[in-house]
């Protein structure tokens, strides 16, 4: 963001390397929306240390810009104020930019400027081998692993409303985000909107959504890996008349990759995704079909405005125990009715999760959020005890107890704390987020990166630029042919 909190109009700094090929520093939808990717680590402390180093290096390369402390952007002057990310002249780079243009045409750029934290998690091979042996499952190991991960996905959707309740940090937004759109949100002072019991407006109807309902509705099958792959591939290959009205090429630039319900798999928003590591320009569904699920990507975390890194170790420990609970709990296939209940629960918690009388849908009936949450916490206790066997102190059990306290007292949630600070300081949402952003900037500035780490990031930047140039030089087919080859993979 610019130092005044508006969306930066400057290109991705060359000193950060190539957004196309850098392993750790890239961009999401916009040139202004940095994305930091940590390598896989065995311990959360290592993940956070690397994330801290990345922030410190990036700040050393920024001029008159700051990293925004909130998921929701401010001072948005319409779609035109959000510059689409650029990845160079290679076919792979042009595809990434064309895909983003398509998202802008389909859903508007404003929605794409929302930021979040993705929590990627996998279990080691030794764990799966032991689980496979203990359960006496007759399937081959990879099938057992993939089916177990898909079962986790179903449970993380069933119980996923708990994440925005506990960690949601977007109870208010700038009026500029809505533009002239009507809203049911309440006015906060002059330039903000909010919902009194909201936890994560990012996860609600005004957040990132691509299910238009009716005939445009995309139904993804989470009851098996094959069903998941087939349903996404169907959406990618099914034409949609509304998108066919978007011109494909304008002034020599591709405006979307195709006019189908989904351009590619990543266009479908889900709070959790099964993932496989891609090989080259491999389609994600093809990678899953070939090699099964390698890890899960939990996508429902707001940026934590109270943490300079956007997430804390306590959050990560709770999430690890929550994933273990989701793995070990029964996970029956679900039907359309349960899927509708899942969507209802997420949206209700996003918009009014701190309402003490809020009831969620479960098994054809209703249950108080606080009662369901306490049931989950009770069942998570054994898993936390197990995870704490590798620690000298009760880190997982302590993290669980601190989250349990938020059920008893919703004022302890990040969303409630944000509104309380805004009220205490007489602030708009913009002023709160800008104040937190500057506090975080100062925190990083007071700890310059060590020389060896700085040289490491500088080397990564140079190498990524060289890789981008090599990719551009190696292209030997027109972009249209490249796309045909990409979508013809089978």
pLDDT value, residue 245: 96
Residue 178: pLDDT band with limits 50, 70, 90: confident
Residue 77: pLDDT band with limits 50, 70, 90: confident
Length of the chain: 490
Q: How far apart are CA 266 and CA 272, in angstroms?
A: 12
Other Cβ atoms closer than 10 A to 297: 15
Q: How far apart are CA 273 and CA 233, in angstroms?
A: 15
- Residue 472 scores a pLDDT above 80: yes
pLDDT value, residue 446: 95
**Cα 169 off chain centre by:** 14
Helices and strands (H, E) in the chain, number of each type: 18, 12
Other Cβ atoms closer than 10 A to 456: 14
Strands (E), 255-294: 272-275
Q: How far apart are CA 440 and CA 434, in angstroms?
A: 10
338-395 confidence digits (pLDDT tens): 999 999 999 999 999 999 999 999 999 999 999 999 999 999 999 999 999 877 789 9
Contact 69, 55 (CB under 8 A): no
Residue 38 tokens read as: 């940590």
Strands lying side by side in the sheet with 272-275: 117-121, 295-301, 272-275
| The residue to which tokens 């957040």 are assigned | 207
289-331 confidence digits (pLDDT tens): 999 999 999 999 999 999 999 999 999 999 999 999 999 999 9
The half-sphere exposure of 28 on its side-chain side, counting CA atoms within 13 A, is 18
Q: How far apart are CA 444 and CA 38, in angstroms?
A: 18
140-150 confidence digits (pLDDT tens): 999 999 999 99
Q: What is the SS3 assignment for 149-215?
A: HHHHHHHHHHCCCHHHHHHCCECEEEHHHHCCCCCCCEEECCCEEECCCCCEHHHCCCCCCCCCCHH
Mean pLDDT (the chain, rounded): 94
Q: How far apart are CA 70 and CA 74, in angstroms?
A: 9
CA distances to 155, 174, 269 from 209, rounded to whole Å, are 21, 19, 6
252-273 confidence digits (pLDDT tens): 999 999 999 999 999 999 999 9
383-417 confidence digits (pLDDT tens): 999 999 877 789 999 999 999 999 999 999 999 99
CA distances to 12, 35, 448, 471 from 32, rounded to whole Å, are 7, 10, 23, 24
Q: How far apart are CA 58 and CA 68, in angstroms?
A: 13
Residue 208 tokens read as: 């990132």
Q: What is the DSSP letter of 450?
A: P
pLDDT value, residue 210: 60
- Residue 217 scores a pLDDT above 60: yes
Contact 80, 12 (CB under 8 A): no
CA-nearest of 118, 155, 107, 93 to 38 is: 118
User: Rounded to 5, what percent of the chain is helix, strand, coil?
Assistant: 50, 10, 40
200-210 confidence digits (pLDDT tens): 999 988 776 66
pLDDT value, residue 416: 98
**Helices of type H across 300-394:** 313-328, 336-352, 369-387
Which stretch of DSSP H or E encloses residue 425? Answer: helix 414-425
Q: How far apart are CA 480 and CA 458, in angstroms?
A: 35
pLDDT value, residue 238: 94
């Amino acid at each position: 963001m610019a130092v005044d909190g508006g969306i930066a109009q400057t290109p991705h700094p060359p000193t950060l390397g190539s957004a196309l090929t850098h392993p750790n520093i890239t961009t999401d939808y916009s040139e202004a929306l940095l994305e930091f990717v940590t390598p896989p680590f065995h311990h959360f402390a290592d993940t956070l240390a690397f994330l801290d180093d990345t922030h410190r290096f990036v700040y050393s390369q920024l001029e008159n810009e700051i990293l925004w402390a909130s998921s929701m952007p401010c001072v948005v002057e319409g779609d035109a104020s959000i510059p689409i990310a650029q990845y160079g002249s290679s076919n792979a780079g042009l595809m990434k930019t064309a895909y983003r243009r398509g998202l802008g045409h389909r859903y508007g750029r404003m929605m794409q400027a929302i930021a979040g934290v993705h929590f990627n998690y996998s279990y080691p091979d030794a764990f799966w081998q032991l689980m496979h042996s203990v359960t006496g499952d007759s399937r081959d190991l990879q099938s057992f692993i993939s089916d177990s991960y898909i079962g986790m996905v179903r449970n993380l959707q069933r119980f996923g409303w708990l994440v925005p309740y506990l960690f949601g940090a977007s109870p208010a937004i700038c009026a500029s985000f809505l533009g002239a759109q009507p809203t049911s949100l309440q006015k906060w002072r002059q330039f903000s909107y909010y919902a009194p019991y909201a936890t994560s407006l990012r996860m609600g109807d005004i957040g990132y959504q691509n299910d238009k309902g009716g005939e445009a509705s995309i139904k993804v099958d989470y009851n098996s890996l094959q069903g998941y792959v087939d349903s996404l591939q169907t959406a990618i290959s099914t034409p949609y008349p509304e998108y066919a009205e978007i011109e494909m090429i304008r002034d020599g630039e591709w405006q979307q990759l195709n006019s189908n319900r989904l351009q590619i798999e990543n266009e479908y928003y889900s709070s959790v995704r099964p993932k496989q590591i891609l090989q080259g320009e491999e389609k994600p569904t093809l990678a899953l079909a070939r090699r099964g699920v390698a890890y899960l990507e939990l996508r429902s975390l707001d940026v934590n405005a109270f943490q300079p890194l956007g997430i804390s170790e306590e959050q990560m420990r709770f999430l690890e125990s929550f994933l273990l609970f989701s793995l070990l709990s029964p996970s029956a296939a679900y039907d359309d009715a349960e899927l509708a209940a899942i969507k209802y629960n997420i949206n209700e918690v996003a918009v009014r999760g701190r309402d003490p009388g809020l009831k969620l849908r479960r098994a054809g009936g209703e249950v108080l959020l606080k009662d369901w949450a306490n049931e989950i916490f009770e069942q998570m206790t054994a898993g936390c005890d197990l995870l704490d066997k590798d620690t000298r102190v009760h880190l997982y059990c302590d993290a669980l107890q601190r989250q349990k306290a938020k059920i008893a007292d919703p004022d302890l949630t990040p969303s409630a704390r944000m509104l309380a600070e805004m009220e205490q300081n007489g602030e708009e949402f913009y002023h709160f987020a800008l104040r937190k952003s500057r506090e975080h900037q100062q925190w990083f500035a007071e700890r310059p990166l060590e020389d060896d780490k700085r040289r490491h990031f500088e080397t990564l930047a140079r190498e990524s630029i060289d890789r981008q140039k090599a990719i551009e030089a190696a292209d030997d087919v027109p972009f249209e042919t490249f796309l045909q080859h990409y979508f013809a993979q089978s």
